[in-house]
Chain A
């Protein structure tokens, strides 16, 4: 191995020093195997098993023409959504980052609002706005003097429309970020070479941010593929099925085999999209010129178009951010949905009803409890894994990190199926525990990512300085590392708590009587025609979301949240 005379001096093999941290990491590995690996492996195995025999029969059934339909629908609806999202997101990003549009900062906050509203709330709100008796539809119909609209929100087009509103912020945020990080001198070089404003945009700027546009597009695609609430509320009643809603249907039959096979299809679509994203990111490496420089280029002067563009952007912001919330609030105060819009129609009785309704109170408590539990468990587990990987560099911790962040690629519908297959037989069926297990599995990647990011901010020498000052490993962790990552951990906790508190996709497949979540209750109310009750509950939840966001902002000094 060593060369020549140095062979004598070949080093002793390196030993890993066992200290107090080791048992903690082993415990985390064990939990990870139980919570993440076991359920996910169950889906894979059970999709090949019928009556204790290894078989491809389930896949044969999944790939028949009737069952391929939802797969095709998922793909085309998501692709269409992604195209719309890329168009809107890119245009808005250019307008709000690169031009002299008035009120750009404010507008940036407004346009990402749909990001914070649960998608199925959006579906409920848009059904109220554009449904057959919608707040926006009625005046238009009266104006045109026609009875029935030729178009309905309960359609594939309606699904794409609402999905696009909820996914375009992905594109907007990635493109706006890329535009901001882009070195202004690249554009200035083109300009000094004799290129005009439009030529610079077309030949320099757009090609450089193209990877960001595509990356945002893939995120929008993945978000659409995994979404359940929107296609369920807008598609089920016209029997338009995508994969997530087909799995919901299969479980209602119940046909576990079919649900499992469909889940595998959903995983495949999701993983293909993820691989695509990896490729785009690698492509982005070629354009490494986009790297944190803080020089801002001259904003593009809109000239005479400045105010018309502002009006257009403002209208768009109002339509996507204000109207849906206004619709929910209005509906929640109306005596009955479709009542004439006058003062006499207003009432608070739905709120009174909601707060007196046992089921609603229970659901709210369930959701808050589940979200608190999921955030705490995921953060505890995630912190140990992130610390072992990023800081202590414990052998094998890289694998823990990979396994722990794997669920990011798995649609939540599939996670619910996995948890069912793994734990339903152990007497957990229909309990809050099984929903908690699903939440921890689904949100663990967020916990690991935020904690890892926070830990990476802490230079290794800060810990080493603790050691040479006389503190042992655990003492250093307590005195130096923990205080420094605490804000990051709090942010991570809230980042898990918030989506978990209004979760629908997993709990709708896992709940039973007494273990409803608030998401399930709102969904069922809306689906059952209790529009005002659903709206009142949604408004309560939105208020909590808003409060949570404010907490997140103050915890992170404005870095996270909206």
Chain B
């Protein structure tokens, strides 16, 4: 049974619908991510779940309890929802010690001192902050403050954990490390997580499922793999990973495959039936192969080594393409060669620049 259910959520700011009919469910122990560019409505959605924003329409249920349903005039303020939340800037109270910060939610529940003490120590151990109880936030590093925020969000064992871009203020190395720790923490706490980020690598690395958002709506929901390999539309294809978009035209059919004319050449790709006329070919850089015998002649303009792969910028008939190849094969800058399309997605219609 799903712990968090959001149905038809709608939130208007003046003339702008920040969230325009969003529905999703987060399952028991699921790590669910709202991913999208800034301004897509992902944070507003999260804040509606938290009760920090009051939605205009739709329904939010946490653990079976309806916490927000404007049509029925139901709105539980944040303090009456069983949630824990980590803010982008951590929001650690600077006038309280680490211990007091983490103990605050429990003290509000009027728990006795020994219970509070034990629970706080337990959760601080979980985030590896033992021994720092008496410190003030100003004496902590960014990573430590982040852990305090996590501990505070988890201490009263909420039904739902909400994380709003919690890693964006950490440096690259720490961010990497926290990704694994977050997954590990979730496994131990067995709490469902609703995670918000604009960083696709973060989303890909941690999520069980991802909802890609654009302009207040969910465009696609799926596992990281599904979203990467089968993006629902051009927006998702462009937003997730690198993608070459090449304008073309369906000119024929070869068994189940389509023959498409791109850049004056014909290539054969898998595609949905019934597509004809102008199309856009979407090809990942790793699905383009540098090969003298390939379909599309190109000239190598820039080559750059990125560890175990080599990034190329090649030019074909006026269009620049990105190609990723294994480091074992390299082609000189300025060389004339060709690329072969190994795999491609087909979107109907002309591409707009």
Question: Which residues of A are interface residues toward B (Cβ below 8 A)?
Answer: 1, 6, 9, 11-12, 14, 17, 459, 461-462, 464-473, 475, 479-480, 483-484
Give 18 A-B pairs besides A462-B93, A470-B109 with Cβ atoms closer than 8 angstroms: A6-B17, A9-B10, A9-B17, A9-B21, A9-B57, A14-B54, A464-B52, A465-B92, A468-B85, A468-B162, A469-B105, A469-B156, A470-B79, A470-B108, A471-B104, A471-B108, A473-B77, A475-B79
Across the interface, do A459 and B79 meet the contact criterion of CB distance under 8 Å?
no
Residues on B with beta carbons closer than 8 Å to the beta carbon of A469: 79, 104-105, 108, 152, 156
Q: Which residues of B contact A484 (CB under 8 A)?
A: 93-95
B84 interface hit (Cβ, 8 Å): yes
- Chain A residues with Cβ below 8 Å from B109 are 470
- Is B228 at the interface (CB under 8 A from chain A)? no
Residues of A within 8 A of B56 (CB): 11-12, 14
Kindly list chain A residues whose C-beta atoms are within 8 Å of the C-beta of B337.
none
Q: Counting CB contacts under 8 A, is B91 at the interface?
A: yes
**Smallest beta-carbon distance B74→chain A, Å:** 13
How many angstroms from the CA of A475 to the CA of B108 in the assembled complex?
Answer: 9
Contacts of A479 in B (CB 8 A): 104
A459 & B94 in contact (Cβ 8 Å cutoff): no
Query: How far is it, in angstroms, between the C-alpha of A467 and the C-alpha of B50 when the chains are bound?
Result: 9
Q: Which of B52, B57, B70, B93 is A468 in contact with, Cβ under 8 Å? A: B52
Residues on the B chain within 8 Å of A483, using CB: 95
CB pair A464–B87 under 8 Å, yes or no, is yes
Known interface pairs A11-B56, A470-B109, A484-B94. Does A465 touch B79 (Cβ–Cβ under 8 Å)?
Answer: no
Least distance between A362 CB and chain B CB atoms (Å): 42
B12 at the interface (CB under 8 A from A): yes
Known: A9-B10, A467-B52, A470-B156. A461 touches B91 (CB 8 A): yes
A470's partner among B50, B52, B105 (CB-CB below 8 A) is B105
Task: Determine if A468 and B156 form an interchain contact, defined as CB atoms under 8 angstroms apart.
Answer: no
Q: Could you tell me if A461 and B87 are in contact, using CB atoms closer than 8 angstroms?
A: yes
Given contacts A9-B20, A464-B91, A483-B95, whether A472 and B79 have CB atoms under 8 Å apart is yes
Take A12-B70, A459-B89, A472-B79 as given contacts and tell me if A465 and B152 are in contact as well, using a CB distance cutoff of 8 Å: yes
Q: Which residues of B have CB within 8 Å of A6?
A: 17, 20
Interface residue B51 (Cβ < 8 Å from any Cβ of A)? yes
Interface contact A468-B79, CB-CB below 8 Å: yes
A461 and B20 contact, Cβ closer than 8 Å, known pairs A471-B108, A472-B77 = no
Note all chain B residues with C-beta closer than 8 A to A473. Answer: 77
30 of the cross-chain contacts (CB-CB < 8 Å) are A9-B20, A9-B21, A11-B10, A11-B56, A12-B57, A12-B70, A14-B54, A17-B75, A459-B91, A462-B93, A465-B85, A465-B92, A465-B149, A466-B93, A467-B51, A467-B52, A468-B51, A468-B79, A468-B83, A468-B84, A469-B79, A469-B108, A469-B152, A470-B105, A470-B109, A470-B156, A471-B79, A472-B77, A473-B77, A475-B108
Query: Which chain A positions have C-beta within 8 A of B12?
Result: 11, 14
CB of B78 within 8 A of chain A?
yes
B78 touches A464 (CB 8 A): yes
Q: Ordered nearest first, which 7 A-B pairs have the shortest CB separation?
A: A11-B56, A461-B91, A467-B78, A465-B91, A469-B105, A11-B12, A468-B85
The docked-state distance in angstroms from the alpha carbon of A469 to that of B103 is: 10
Rounded to whole angstroms, the CA-CA distance of A469 and B100 in the bound complex is 12
From residue A408, how far is it (CB to closest CB) to chain B in Å?
31
- Given known A-B contacts A11-B10, A480-B93, A484-B95, A465 and B54 have beta carbons under 8 A apart: no
* Interface-centre pick from A1, A6, A466, A467 (highest chain B CB count, 10 A): A467
CB-based nearest A residue for B52:
A464
Q: Give the distance in Å from the alpha carbon of A523 to the alpha carbon of B81 in the complex.
A: 63
Residues of A within 8 A of B108 (CB): 469-471, 475
Inter-chain contacts of B78 with A (CB < 8 A): 464, 467-468
Q: List chain B residues, Cβ under 8 A from A480.
A: 93
**B91:A462 contact, CB within 8 angstroms:** yes
Within 8 A of A (CB), among B86-123: 87-89, 91-95, 104-105, 108-109
Please tell me if the beta carbons of B10 and A17 are within 8 angstroms of each other in the complex: no
CA distance in complex: A483, B96 (Å): 10
Expressed in whole angstroms, the minimum distance between the Cβ of A472 and any Cβ of chain B is 5
